């Protein structure tokens, strides 16, 4: 309970919590366990890693589009003084930023955009949200813009009797903003306060643009937008506006929302941000397909999370939240999650396991399976001697870490080999391959067979290219076994490349066939025979190729075993997808709408 409370009070991100803990406590006997705070510490550390990593990923992904946006704004800030600009002075430069429909993810993008612009281009950045200014008269929107730019000294609510507001009352108009802008920029040039120093000292005459970011363009009332654009276009000479429209659907939304008389006042350029599926893929790479990250998800949980992403919301943040939530659940419900951390730390805590923990280890299904495979004498020791269990536990943990270290490079190898095959028998994305690998023995599936068959007919140059990619991924892995595999692979590549173009006639079937009057069955038979005879005579390339494939196959069989078969996998793997699916956090509850639906069907028939 202590753990529950602490973690949920410190994390403002998660709020709803079904308190089924009592039942769970009885099941697992956590009640008088004292490693809660350790688990909390480990969990919190991991949580922070997740948070940090997602932010880093987001920054990396957005960097390109944000930089080009900043470039665009800078360019227009400069262009303001040139002659060409004067001719169409009333055109407002506008960037249409295509973000995709996963609206909640945009908040982070806009935040970093704001920061970037404020740091490198102009201090005058305003971002407005449709909800804040959806009312028909454009007043609220102008007010928002003014408030954010000039601070809170704007008189907004005319009915409000406020002494402080009366003192420093500025009418809520763009012309007031104009006045303010003039004084501020003058001050900027003369005094150059430290905040804007780096901006102003290099080239003073450049006027700083005023950037207005419309976060969700579609949600804005089109009348409000039109009015705002009309008003702003009247002041472009004095106030260099730049608009950024955050568009979720497609750029044609602009034309749908604005009439020609208004859109002709804009000078629109389109910017594309990365698609959310690419975003998900990089999050996946960083947080799930990473041996350094000790917390793992079982195949079912991954399927639930990815399913929610693909079928419901396209929302990467939600995916990360789901991951974090399962982490919380794991550390909360599994007392042995104490061992779910980096190798050294885990080994240390394995030495100091409490009696209870040892008992819990004995009850782990994977450990029981392990015990069954041992000699009877060893079995007795494992079941009676706590110290022995602790020692065994250490070696098992080492093995588990080793397994992970070997698993991911081989997984990537297999993916790079199979991702270019026609029809993607093992899935287009590495996550699909991962799921099927940890779910069951991959080599027993039909898809794997068909993939290998396809691989066995690859041409030489394709094969070499694919193998080179594999070698690249193996290079980054630093275990001994992987280095071994790498050496063998490079050996194969070398042999493939030095292979002489020999025996061109060998593989070709002799074109001469004795045509006789036969029925269809006979013909088929002879053809099949010929075929089988041909396959027997392979040239040296084909021999080598099948060797390579056998080698790959052996790698897969050795390293891509399902995680379930690893003893102590419960320490790292979170597997209760049911909890995840039905938790209020995920809002996947079945609503009572189905009742009304049945009524509807009744009326229909």
Partner 1 sequence: MTVIQVFHYEQRMSVTLQCPGYPEDTLRSLADRLPCRETQLKSLLSLMGQPDQYSYPSFFIYGHRATGKSHVVLSVMKDLELPHASVDCVECVSSGLLFHQVLSAFFGPDAAALLPRCPSLSDFVRLYKQMSSNSPATQTRYIILDRAERMRDMDFSLLPALLRLQELVNDNVTVILLSEIVWEKFRPNTGCFEPLLFHFPDYSKVELVQILSWDHHPSYTPELYASYINILLGVFFSVCRDLRELRHLAALNFSKFCEPLEKGEAKESDIHKLWKNIEPHLQRAMQTVYLREVSSVQWEQQQMDEKEATTLRVLSAHAHIELPYYSKFLLIAAYLASFNPARTDRRFFLKSHGKIRKTNFLKKHEKTSNHLLGPKPFPLDRLMAIFYSVVDSRVAPTASIFSQISSLVTLQLLSQVGHDDQLDSPKYKCSVSLDFILAISRTVGFDVVKYLYDFL
Considering only residues 155-174, where is the footprint of partner 1 by CB under 8 A? 158-159, 161, 166, 171-174
Residue 93 sits in the site that holds partner 1 (CB under 8 A): yes
Residues binding partner 1: number (CB under 8 A): 72
Q: Which is nearer to partner 1, 260 or 355 (CB)?
A: 260
CB 146 within 8 A of CB 179: no
Pair of tokens at residue 65:
């589009």
Residue 260 sits in the site that holds partner 1 (CB under 8 A): yes
Residue 254 sits in the site that holds partner 1 (CB under 8 A): yes
Q: Tokens 């991100």 correspond to what residue?
A: 13
Give the x-and-dash track for 199-238 against partner 1 (CB under 8 A): -----------------x-xx-------x--xx--x----
- The minimum distance between CB 485 and partner 1, in angstroms, equals 38
Q: Which is nearer to partner 1, 525 or 599 (CB)?
A: 599
Residue 242 sits in the site that holds partner 1 (CB under 8 A): no
Which residues, numbered 307-366, are part of the site for partner 1 (CB under 8 A)?
308-314
CB 262 within 8 A of CB 91: no
Q: Which is nearer to partner 1, 123 or 246 (CB)?
A: 246
- The minimum distance between CB 183 and partner 1, in angstroms, equals 15
Query: How many Å apart are CA 146 and CA 174, to the nearest integer?
Result: 8
- The minimum distance between CB 263 and partner 1, in angstroms, equals 5
Residue 87 sits in the site that holds partner 1 (CB under 8 A): yes
Q: Which residues have CB under 8 Å from 133's CB, separation 6+? A: 140, 141, 143, 144, 220, 224
Q: Tokens 């971002």 correspond to what residue?
A: 127
Pair of tokens at residue 88:
């169409």
- The minimum distance between CB 138 and partner 1, in angstroms, equals 6
- The minimum distance between CB 90 and partner 1, in angstroms, equals 9
* Residues found in the chain: 605
Q: Which is nearer to partner 1, 85 or 293 (CB)?
A: 85
Q: Which residues have CB under 8 Å from 291's CB, separation 6+? A: 401, 404, 405, 407, 408
Give the x-and-dash track for 410-449 against partner 1 (CB under 8 A): ----------------------------------------
- The minimum distance between CB 151 and partner 1, in angstroms, equals 20
CB 305 within 8 A of CB 296: no
Query: How many Å apart are CA 54 and CA 48, to the nearest integer?
Result: 10
Q: Which residues have CB under 8 Å from 46's CB, separation 6+? A: 293, 294, 295, 327, 341
Q: Which is nearer to partner 1, 266 or 361 (CB)?
A: 266
Instruction: Output DSSP code: residue 560.
Output: -
Residue 253 sits in the site that holds partner 1 (CB under 8 A): yes
Residue 280 sits in the site that holds partner 1 (CB under 8 A): no
Residue 593 sits in the site that holds partner 1 (CB under 8 A): yes
Residue 182 sits in the site that holds partner 1 (CB under 8 A): no
- The minimum distance between CB 473 and partner 1, in angstroms, equals 29
Q: Which is nearer to partner 1, 98 or 353 (CB)?
A: 98
Q: Which residues have CB under 8 Å from 155's CB, separation 6+? A: 165, 166, 169, 170, 171, 172
Largest Cα span, the chain? 110
Residue 153 sits in the site that holds partner 1 (CB under 8 A): no
Choose which of 81, 255, 522, 540 interacts with partner 1 (CB under 8 A): 255
Residue 142 sits in the site that holds partner 1 (CB under 8 A): yes
Residue 605 sits in the site that holds partner 1 (CB under 8 A): yes
Q: Tokens 């693909």 correspond to what residue?
A: 310
- The minimum distance between CB 96 and partner 1, in angstroms, equals 8
Tell which residue, 390, 430, 442, has the closest CA to residue 563.
442
Give one DSSP letter per residue of 188-203, joined into a string.
HHHT--GGGHHHHTT-
User: Sign of torsion, CA 416 317 61 406?
Assistant: negative
Give the x-and-dash track for 561-590 against partner 1 (CB under 8 A): -------------------------xxxxx
Residue 27 sits in the site that holds partner 1 (CB under 8 A): no
Residue 167 burial class via C-beta count within 10 angstroms: exposed 0-12, middle 13-18, buried 19 and up: exposed
Dihedrals φ, ψ of 264, to 5°? Answer: -75, -10
């Amino acid at each position: 309970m202590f753990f529950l409370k602490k973690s949920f009070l410190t994390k403002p991100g998660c709020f709803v919590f079904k308190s089924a803990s009592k039942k769970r406590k009885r099941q697992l006997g956590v009640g008088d366990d004292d490693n809660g705070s350790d688990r909390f510490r480990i969990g919190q550390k991991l949580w922070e890693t997740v948070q940090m990593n997602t932010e880093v990923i987001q920054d990396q992904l957005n960097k390109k589009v944000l930089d080009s946006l900043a470039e665009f704004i800078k360019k227009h800030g400069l262009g303001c003084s040139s002659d060409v600009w004067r001719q169409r002075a009333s055109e407002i430069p506008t960037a249409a930023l295509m973000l995709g429909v996963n609206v909640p993810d945009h908040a982070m993008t806009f935040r970093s955009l704001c920061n970037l612009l404020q740091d490198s281009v102009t201090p005058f950045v305003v971002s407005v949200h449709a909800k804040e200014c959806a009312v028909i008269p454009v007043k609220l929107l102008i007010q928002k813009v003014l408030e954010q730019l000039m601070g809170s000294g704007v008189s907004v609510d005319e009915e409000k009797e406020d002494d402080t507001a009366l003192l420093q009352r500025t009418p809520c108009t763009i012309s007031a903003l104009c006045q303010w802008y003039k004084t501020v920029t003058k001050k900027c040039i003369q005094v150059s306060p430290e905040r804007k120093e780096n901006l102003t000292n290099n080239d003073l005459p450049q006027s700083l643009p005023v950037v207005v970011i419309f976060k969700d363009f579609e949600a804005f009332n089109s009348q409000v937008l039109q009015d705002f654009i009309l008003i702003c276009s009247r002041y472009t000479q004095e106030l260099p506006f730049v608009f950024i429209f955050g568009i979720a659907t497609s750029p044609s939304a602009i034309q749908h929302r604005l009439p020609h008389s208004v859109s002709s006042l804009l000078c629109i350029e389109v910017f594309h941000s990365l698609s959310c599926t690419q975003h998900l893929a990089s999050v996946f790479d960083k947080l799930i397909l990473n041996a350094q990250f000790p917390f793992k998800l079982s195949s079912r949980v991954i399927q639930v999370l990815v399913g929610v992403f693909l079928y419901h919301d396209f929302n990467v943040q939600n995916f990360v939240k789901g991951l974090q939530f399962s982490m919380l659940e794991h550390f909360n419900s599994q007392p042995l999650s104490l061992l779910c951390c980096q190798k050294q730390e885990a080994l240390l805590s394995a030495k100091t396991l409490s009696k209870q923990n040892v008992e819990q280890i004995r009850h782990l299904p994977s450990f029981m399976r392990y015990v069954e495979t041992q000699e009877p004498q060893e079995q007795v020791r494992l079941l009676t001697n706590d110290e022995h269990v602790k020692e065994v536990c250490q070696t098992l943990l080492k093995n588990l870490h080793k397994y992970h270290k070997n698993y991911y490079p081989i997984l990537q190898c297999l993916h790079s080999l199979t991702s270019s095959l026609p029809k993607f028998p093992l899935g287009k994305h590495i996550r699909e391959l991962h799921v099927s690998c940890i779910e069951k023995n991959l080599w027993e599936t039909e898809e794997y067979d068909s993939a290998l068959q396809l691989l066995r007919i690859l041409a030489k140059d394709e094969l070499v290219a694919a193998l080179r990619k594999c070698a690249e991924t193996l290079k980054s892995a630093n275990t001994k076994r992987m280095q071994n595999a790498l050496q063998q692979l490079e050996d194969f590549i070398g042999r493939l490349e030095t292979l002489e173009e020999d025996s061109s006639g060998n593989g070709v079937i002799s074109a001469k066939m004795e045509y006789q009057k036969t029925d269809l069955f006979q013909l088929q038979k002879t053809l099949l025979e010929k075929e089988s005879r041909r396959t027997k005579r392979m040239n040296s390339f084909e021999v080598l190729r099948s060797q390579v494939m056998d080698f790959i196959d052996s790698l897969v069989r050795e390293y891509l075993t399902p995680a379930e078969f690893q003893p102590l996998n419960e320490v790292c793997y979170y597997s209760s997808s049911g909890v995840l699916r039905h938790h209020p956090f995920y809002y996947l509850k079945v609503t009572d709408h189905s009742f009304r639906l049945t009524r509807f069907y009744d009326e229909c028939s």
